Structure 1
Amino acid sequence: MHDHDFEHDVEGFVTVLASELPGHWTVEYHQHANRAEQLARAAAVWDLYLVADAVTRHPLRHDAILTRDDGTRLYVTGRPRYEDDFLVAAIAPASVPPEAFRGVREPDGIAVPADPFAAAEAVTTGLFPRYEAALAQVWKNSDHLDSRTPVTLTWVGPDLHAHADSTTVAAILTEHGFAPTDSGQSLMLTGDDTALQARAVRAVGARLATLGIHLALRHPAVRPGLDTTTVALAQHPRPTARVR
């Protein structure tokens, strides 16, 4: 049997499915103009088994993405070569560092019957528990990564210097007035306009906070007393004679 000996009613199926799943869902149904669109729509599907195989090996024609108010997303399409089945998979959360997914097992999708009421039960009891467990681990990993990599702004005279460990952080700093130093090893925000500088720091802090990244301000370490004493003595001429 060929993939297109029948046509799954994806749009009708997901409309009823969304009304039976817990929570409030919106539905985005889409017909693919080409294979590139198909692959792009499923790029974030959190699956390495049944659904990933269908997406990469079969022309699917159309799919739907369901989004719940809390941000949970599901990918739904017809199951190739199975007229009475549909495929449902979770979509991985966006704006999470790739490192946060390391070691987390994918909550692979499931095949569900064409009956949307039975399908909603299968998703609720079969897919959601695995998805929620994987998501909790990803957020935990993400928090751990963020806690280890704060962005520190260091005062050097009136200017602020920062080292950006990622292109995302560098882009945020640049958008708010930081520019590469002559050495190219850091970014600097001049203190020519202290009010502008203060607004920029607040804006950078707010932007980084949305990514879960902490912003720290610090002054450079004070020189040791020995160095200070040496410099002070060097400023005075040596005596030519002792006073008895």
Structure 2
Amino acid sequence: MHDSTEAPDLQSYARALADELPGTWHSQYRDGRAELDQHGPAENVWDMNELAEALASDGVVQDAVLTRDDGTRLYVIPRPHSEEEFLVGAIAPDLPPHAFRGVREPDGILIPDNPYQAAEDIVLELLPRYDKAAAQAQYNAARPPAAAGDETLVMAWSGRDLVVDRPVRREVVDVLLDLGFVNAEAPGQLTLPGDNPVVQAQTVQSAATTLRSHGLNIDVAVRHASPRTALGASAAVVPPTPSGSPAARGR
């Protein structure tokens, strides 16, 4: 049993959690700047809530991935500034960008340091949302994209803000400005400031809906930074690969 009187021992906790979850799960633990600075599962975490905020900060120094035998993956980190709580979220399936259009993120949850209770919370709260979202994404993936000329507007976390390359089309810029984006300090960028990830998620959803309502074939994607990796201008606008585009797809 995890001892909550000590600093979080994620490696032992993740193993115990994998044992408590129904089915067959395997735990993979990473620790240290050298490992976490590499692009990895954090980029594909399917969350726009507290877990996304934690990943955008500079406080994640260890993580764990729990993988079920059917390929379902969960991402676990200690909750920042807590010795007794963890955050867990789903990792998006390996699908093309258009698969996530209209699919709401199955946001992660806060779990206690008791693996038995945490497993129960995951089964009752997180996995049903993930299963629903993954089924919708799989359905979309089996169908061709709505239009070959569709574009993707990629936003990225930079600290607590969302940053996006300033679109070329004025109508797109106007939509973003109306929703609260402002000119960033870096030339050629817009930023959505704020410290409330829920409000920011709602704004991303509104951006996707509004752009579509204007007849613009533009999807909206949110890219999560890898832990302990600062986002610069180039990182904020790198188009996602087919396996790295899960966070928001024009919900």
TM-score by length of 2: 0.53
The residue aligned with 2:169 is none
Segments of 5+ residues of structure 2 without an aligned counterpart are 1-5, 149-251
**109-118 or 6-15, which deviates more:** 6-15
Deviation readout 1:11-51 (Å, 9 max, x if unpaired): 11111100010110111101132596276340111111111
Instruction: Work out whether residues 32 and 38 of structure 1, in 8 Å CA contact, stay in contact via their aligned partners in 2.
Output: no
Structure 1 Cα separation of the partners of residues 119 and 145 of structure 2: 36
Determine whether 1:28 maps to 2:50.
no
Runs of 4+ in 1 over 6 A off after TM superposition: 146-149
The residue aligned with 2:137 is 138
The residue aligned with 1:122 is 121
- What SS does the aligned partner of 1:65 have? strand
How far is the alpha carbon of 1:7 from its aligned partner?
3.2
Q: How does 1:1-244 map to 2 (within 5 A)?
A: 7-34=7-34, 37=37, 40-94=40-94, 96-145=95-144
Segments of 5+ residues of structure 1 without an aligned counterpart are 1-5, 150-244
Structure 1 Cα separation of the partners of residues 71 and 146 of structure 2: 24
TM-score by length of 1: 0.55
Question: Which has more helix, going by share of residues?
Answer: 1
Highest relative contact order (Cα 8 Å, sep 6+), 1 or 2?
2
- What SS does the aligned partner of 2:23 have? coil
Structure 1 Cα separation of the partners of residues 87 and 38 of structure 2: 14
Instruction: Work out whether residues 38 and 55 of structure 1, in 8 Å CA contact, stay in contact via their aligned partners in 2.
Output: no
> How much is the aligned-residue C-alpha RMSD, in angstroms?
2.2
- What SS does the aligned partner of 1:120 have? helix
AA at the equivalent of 2:11 = E
How far is the alpha carbon of 1:146 from its aligned partner?
7.5
- What SS does the aligned partner of 2:82 have? coil
Structure 1 Cα separation of the partners of residues 113 and 10 of structure 2: 9
